[in-house]
Amino acid sequence: MRKKVTVVGAGNVGATTAQRIFELGYADVVLTDVIPDLPQGKALDILESGPLVGSDAKIVGSNGYDETAGSDLVIVTAGVPRKPGMSRDDLVLTNLKIVSSIIGEVVRFSPHSIILMVTNPLDAMTQAALELSRFPRSRLFGMAGVLDTARFRTFIAQELNVSVEEVQAYVLGGHGDTMVPLVHTTTVAGVPITDLLEGEKIDRIVQRTRDGGGEIVKLLKAGSAYYAPSAAIVEMAESILLDRKRILPGCSYLEGEYGIRGLCVGVPVKLGAKGVEQVIEVKLSHEEMAALQKSAAAVKELVELMHRSEVAKAS
């Protein structure tokens, strides 16, 4: 019997994620969105590709959550992108309302599911969803580090003209300006990156990685990345659905690891059938630890903003 995956949000990221999972063939998919007929149309289009890609999986679209009942994995991509003139605080509070409504329905219809958050700002929305769902940290976490790491590896491979498969790296911390590429553990075919590239070139690659999403937004003029984000989501989903025990950077609630407590921050985690089965603590340099603490502080600011808004609303 195939696993059941729900993708919430039928925009570019959500629809492309649904397509990728359907094409793999080992999970049935429900694509849900509030826009009438949009998820139904996209799901039917994807379903009709089955004979061409060799997939017998099922996919349906929905404007509600009845069809999602009993999902093994729920991937939340719904939310508004940051628009011109919109502050970071505005984005947090707008998407907090959206995430709050979604999580309530997911918990109602799929109380034993694993939830993978993708909505931005990722770290804050993961924290909000965890608090709203009251799920254990093993069953609710976020995707960002896999994408950031893929960008980092891409840029290194381009610079050295080697296969991306030869580049091993991690990007930790928050999904934004304070992310932390771990330069001292980055290798190419086992050779430290610091032996292959000058410090100035490494710094340039690190900065391009931090600006990766913005670079694509600038080029597209309207919209944001979705091919690489959807591939990153599926890498995490595969490790869960197939119990592969991959060690990947994920936004997980920390309980003292890396000296951080009570916050969802990007760190290496082991992903299997039970979700986050272990938070992996890697040895960081003094500079990297300081950068991770700075990144956590930025996440904490957004979380405190959310909490203040909730208190204000309650009063």
Which residues belong to the active site?
Answer: 175
- HSE toward the beta carbon, residue 157, CA cutoff 13 A: 15
CA quadruple 58, 62, 66, 71: dihedral sign: positive
Alpha-carbon span 266 to 197, nearest angstrom: 26
| Residue ranges with strand state E in 243-301 | 246-255, 261-272, 275-279
Residue 3 has phi, psi (to 5 degrees) of -70, 165
H/E stretch holding 170 reads none
How would DSSP label each residue in 171-215?
EES-SSTT-EE-GGG-EETTEEGGGTS-HHHHHHHHHHHHTHHHH
